[in-house]
Structure formats: C-alpha cells, structure tokens
Structure 1
Amino acid sequence: MTKPVLDPALANLDTRSRDIFRHMVDSYLRDGEPVGSRSLSRLLPNALSPATIRNVMSDLEHLGLVYAPHISAGRMPTQQGLRFFVDAFMELGDVSEEERRSIDAQIKTSGKSDSLDSMLTEASQLLSGMSRGAGLVLATKSETALKHVEFIQLEKTKALTILVSQNGDVENRVIDLPAGVTASQLNEATNFLNAHIRGRTLVEARNEIARLKEETRTALDTLSQELVDRGMAVWAGAGSDLPIRMIVRGRANLLNDVTEETDFERLKLLFDDLETKEGLMQLLDLTEGGSGVRIFIGSENKLFSLSGSSLVVAPYRDQNSRVVGALGVIGPTRLNYARIVPMVDYTAQVISRMLR
C-alpha cells in the first residue's frame, strides 16, 4: 500500500500533538466513542494534564482532524483525520497463522472442487466473517468457451435453459416455450446446439448458429428451430451490457452500527448504486488505479459519501498478470484497518495464485 504525500501542516505536527492524536484515534477505532482529555491523560505514556491535552485537541480540531459530536463531549476523528491516521501512523499487522490457514483451506478447497463462481463466493463470505463487515468481490465476465447447453421443461409454457462453460461455471435462464412443443423437440434443439457451441464463446456460438440458418431449417422442424432461436436470444441478452458481476456477503453486518432510519436508507442507496453498471465499473477502476490494497474512507469516493462507509479493496490477477477482478471489505469508517488491509491483500494473492 503506497502512502501519499502529506499536507505540510499535518506532516509538521509536533511529537506531542501526533502522540495525542494517535491515541485518540486508536481509542475511537477500538470503542467507537468520543475520547475526552481525562481519558487521554490515562492512556498517554507521558504524564500530561487534561488542560494541556484540551489545548492540543483544540489545535487538532482547528486543523480539521477531530471534532466534538456534542457540547462537553470528547473528540472523534473526522474523515480527514482517519485518512491522516491511516497514511501517517497505521502500522499494518500481519495475517495470523490461523487466519492464513483458514483462507488457504477454504478458498483452495472450493477452487479445486467447484467453479470459479463458487470460489469467489467463498472469498466474499470469508472476508465478511473475518472482518464483521460486508465481503465484496468483483469479477469480470470473461468470454470463456462453452461446454454444454440443455433445455428442461418446467411447465407447458416454460423451460429452464442451462449453460455450462468449460471452466465449470453454470448459468440458468427461464424462457417461454413455443405453443405445442414436445419433449422430443426439446431434445432435438439441445442436441443441435451442443453440436455447434462446444469450444466456442457465446459470441462465436451465436454467430455460428446465425451462419447455419439454412442448415437449421433443413435439420430441424419449425418448433425445434424456434427453440434454438429463443435459447440463443436469451443468452445473448443475459447481462451483455454489464461486463462485471458483484458478489456481496454479510450486508447485515453493516446494520450493527446503524441507529437511525436515515442510516438504513443510506445503506440501501449504497448497494443500489453499487449494483448499477456505472457503480461496478467505478469500483473496478478504483482498484486498477493502484498496484495493491487501496483504502477509501467515506466521502473520499462518491459511492460511499452518503452511507459514511469505508472500503478496503485489492485487485486479483490472472495468469497474464491482468487485473480480472477485485475483492475487499465494506464497513463503517472505524474499521480495524491495520488488521483488515493485510487480510484483504492475502486473500487477493491466494485468488490470483488459484487463477494461474
């Protein structure tokens, strides 16, 4: 994680001010409460009177690093203060041996036995459980080769189409059936498609079926031909304008610090925004802007400005070292950054190794 150049006014804080500020933020991140001068005087290694500490706190407030949420209350760090703390003071821990084993075991097991989607879902669930925040995974939709397609009749007018790619991913869609279609015609359409899509990407398969239009008319009856057309049409329109998918686990964890109805609405807006094409693309762009873990605190990014949330995110890469997705943790601004940053970084490294 690269650290930006600090504002000269902040970089030149004297040792006493820096010490008081650091202890104040440490206390806030631990307890989530404003910190008063008397409490700080007991925390500081050097004996300072509450009056001296109050003077320093007033100077820190003037610099925009702390604020008083209530009259006569202690001080809490502002978002600018949290950013200053992260950039200037935070000492990253390391992933504990127990956490490392847990990440390795769960992701590597799911990666060997299940699809890529299952592995990424497991990573999202894992990050949520370990951070007590929401685990987030972004994955680009690559044009993988297809393996198999199948129609399964659900009722007279509906069928489930199942598309399996060669990397093990499975996607399902429900389509409307032509009137009067039979089980044998479903099998006929399935067999025709499988004869022409295997080893091709979805775009290539669609082009191939269009090229074989005359052959389709010869080989299939009218209803079977219509089934082929409907099957290809539903896959052609399945998220074709959205090249990224998002997996989120642990949204309920974000409600633990919510106390007012407006906060619930802000969180809802956050996830509504995240799930748009623009929101997903913006998140991936944020990740690609740096080589490692990046931290976004509150209003530093417009996606999180209303909800007051923070994001710790890192990219993962394929065998060609291309960024193909991102993973991270969304939580309140008082996240335990020192613990979560290396956790996110290590999980991204494990995913990257599994993709090579």
Structure 2
Amino acid sequence: MTPRVPPLDTGFGLPQLNERSREIFRQIVDSYLATGEPVGSRNISRFLTAPLSPASVRNVMADLEGLGLIQAPHTSAGRLPTELGLRFFVDAMLEIGEVSEAERRTIEAKVAGAGIGRSMDDVLGQASQLLSGLSRGAGVVLASKQDARLKHIEFVQLEPRRALVVLVGEDGSVENRIVPLPVGLPASALTEATNFLNARIRGRTLLEVRADIEHARETARGELDSITASLVDAGLASWGAGEGADRRLIVRGQANLLEDLKAIEDLERVRLLLDDLEGKKEVIELLGRAETADGVRIFIGSENKLFSLSGSSMIAAPFRDGRQNIVGVVGVIGPTRLNYARVVPMVDYTAKVVGRLLGEG
C-alpha cells in the first residue's frame, strides 16, 4: 500500500506547469537528488523524451527560475531546485516507490527481533538505527513514556527537606526525580507513601495513573494524614515534571551526515545540522508536528526553524499503540537531497512495524 503523504500547508500555491516544463523541472530535481550538483541545459536536453535544443531548454529554465522553483548557485549555467521547488516536487510530482521484499524482511527482522525478551526502548533504538542505515541519514524516534507499564516506586530521603523518587518500569527502565519534603515530615511518611502508591501503580501505564491522579488524591486524604498525602501528591506530580519529561528522543547515525560531502559549505551545513540535533527541545517540537499528521510528513529546509540554517529535510511518520492512539514518531533527518521516493515508504513501513509490536505488548 502506497503511503499517504499529505501536502504541508506552506501558503504556497502550486504553479501550473505544462508537460515540457514539468519534464525539464523533474530532470533538474532528479539530477540534484542523485548528485547534489547543478545541471545545465545541454545535459538536460539529452534526456528529454521529445527532442529540444539547449537554447529552448534554457528558455524553460528561465521561466522556472522566475517562478522560484530553481536557482543558479553561482555563475555556472547549471541550476538547482530551490526549497520552494523541492516542496512543489514533493507535493505535486513525487512518485513514491514500494518497500522491496528484501527491505521488508530487514525491517521486520531488525525491529521485531529487537523486541524479543527486551524493552520497548530497545525496539525504538533499533528502529532509529535501522532507518539511519537504510537512508544514510540520521534516524530519529520520538516516543511517549506514558505507554511503559510501571513496576515499583520508592521514596529515598536525601536531606531533611529533599527526597529522591525512583520509578521502575516493567521493561527495566528507571527514572529518578527530586521532590521537596514538607516541614515536619515523620520518618514513617516515606514508607507510607511508597506502600500507598505501589499498591496502585503496578502493571499500569503512566497514562492510566495520571488519569487516576485526582481519584488517588481524594483516596489519599481518607487513608493518609495530610503530610503524607502531600508527599504522594509530589510523587505523582514529579513524573510529569520537567521540559519534555514525558518524551524520549532517540537519534542514531549522525555520522552518516558527514559522508558524501561535496564542498566546504556542505561541511558547515552538516555542522549546523548536528548542532540542531543537540537541541532536544526543537527536535521534539518538530517531530510533535508529525504526530498530528494522517500519514507521512515531509519538512524541507527553512519551512521550519530547526533547519532554517542547515537546509536539511525530515521525513517522519507516526506510530500507534494497541488502542490505535498515536504514541510516537519515527523518521529520518538528512540533506534536502534525500531520496524521498525511497525513504518515505521505508519510514512508513517502519512506523507500522513498531505500532504492531506495541499492539502485541
């Protein structure tokens, strides 16, 4: 099944091109995606289905340049697609391929195999690594922490006014939070709060626990004294505290971005992209936009602030849990000359495999 790729709302109306203009524009884009180099009218004229002189090709290229679809990077006669041109190509002309049987087997074996007796983090890490290897870009995964089932919680006093809350998941994951302690907290309160919460959280997801927080608070007031109840309150609240605390971001294959550099400006572009990937908040925000999509999303260059300097692209698709709720995104980040036709179906299929594993978990 061909992945659905809804157009991005950029406010850019798709221009109307005749067949000759579309063919020449496609040749320019195809050449750029294959080589990263500008292509001239003489080379284009050799590959057209209908004979056309280089002079006639140049006239069409001038029209395409006037529409903002192509540009001359320097004084040479060659042309490259602009970011606007790539957006037009993706929305109006991209012919998405199918995932090959060999690629399907690889994705199934690597991603599904990572889930045998291991945690969902292992599955997500393998999905990111796999997409990196198949695309030669950086593989990225954004997932909710709320789907992990909880096993145990422990309050450990560090100082008179501070305690460490340790949350252990059934998949072996461990998270720590520091919470303030109320004045006059008795020594038994930490044990009471630990026992109270452990009786209620085991085997449940963080989402289920959060949905029950208000009820838990009311129950706590009936079973615990007010000081211990406030500690339970702090323990529950701490799991959602902090910027991006309910999200985990996995990035693999950044080194791929350093390969196949064409010029010194490419090295600077990649340096900026690697800096972007260090900014967890911005990457999470962009991937979050893909979560709301009905299908695969493609972001190109300065359409988003994350890639405004590096001129990069991202292809991303959401994945769902057993209840068909969207709980994360898988994707690929790389240069704007990513092989969109090949990478889009791979990202889409990987998202479906991850979702199927979540449904079986």
> Normalising by structure 2, what TM-score?
0.77
Shift of 1:148: 3.5
1:55 Cα deviation after fit: 1.3
Using a 3 Å threshold, how does the CA distance of structure 1 residues 287 and 252 change in structure 2: closer, same or farther?
Answer: same
SS of residue in 1 equivalent to 2:307: coil
Within the candidate set 145, 164, 168, 1:141 is matched to: 145
How many angstroms apart in 1 are the aligned matches of 2:44 and 2:167?
61
Match of 2:341 among 338, 348, 356: 338
Deviation of 1:84 after TM superposition, in Å, equals 1.3
Where does 1:238-249 land on structure 2 (aligned, <5 Å)? 239=242, 242-249=245-252
**2:348 partner amino acid:** D
Compared CA separation, residues 40 and 110, structure 1 to 2 (3 A)? same
Per the TM alignment, residue 65 of structure 1 is displaced from its structure 2 partner at its CA by 0.8
* Displacement after TM superposition at 1:47 (Å): 2.1
The 3 A distance-change label for structure 1 pair 14 and 237 is closer
Query: Which position in structure 1 is the counterpart of 2:65?
Result: 61
Separation in structure 2 between the aligned mates of residue 91 and residue 27 of structure 1, nearest angstrom: 15
Q: Is the 8 A contact 1:64 1:81 kept in 2?
A: yes
* Aligned equivalent of 2:272, options 266, 270, 276: 266
CA distances 1:46-100 after superposition (whole Å, capped 9, x unpaired): 2221111111111111111111111123001101111111122211110011100
CA distance in 2, matches of 1:3, 1:234: 37
CA distance in 2, matches of 1:102, 1:35: 35
Amino acid at match of 2:59: N
For 1:105, the equivalent position in structure 2 comes to: 109
Using a 3 Å threshold, how does the CA distance of structure 1 residues 211 and 139 change in structure 2: closer, same or farther?
Answer: farther
Deviation at 1:281, TM superposition (A): 3.5
Deviations along 1:261-317, one digit per CA (max 9) or x if unpaired, are 6425422442243x01x65144213331x2101111111122222210101011111
Counterpart position of 2:298: 295
Confirm whether residue 33 of structure 1 aligns to residue 34 of structure 2.
Answer: no
- Secondary structure of the residue aligned to 1:303 is helix
Trace 1:121-132 onto structure 2 (pairs within 5 A).
121-132=125-136
Q: Structure 1 residues 39, 268: closer, same or farther in 2, change over 3 A?
A: same
Report the number of matched residues: 333
Residue pair 1:162, 1:170 contacting (<8 A) in 2 also: no
Mark the CA change 1:344 to 1:162 in structure 2 (over 3 Å): closer, same or farther: same
Matches of 1:314 and 1:237, distance apart in 2: 25
Output the amino acid matched with 1:349: K
Q: Which residue of 2 aligns with 1:82?
A: 86
Deviation at 1:14? 1.8
Report matched runs for 1:182-331 at 5 Å.
198-199=202-203, 201=206, 236=239, 239=242, 242-256=245-259, 257=261, 259-260=264-265, 262-273=268-279, 275-276=280-281, 279-288=283-292, 290-331=293-334
Question: What letter corresponds to residue 22 of structure 1 in structure 2?
Answer: R
- 5+ residue gaps, structure 1, are 153-159, 176-187, 218-227
Partner of 1:165: 169
- Give the Cα separation in 2 of the matches to 1:303 and 1:327: 17
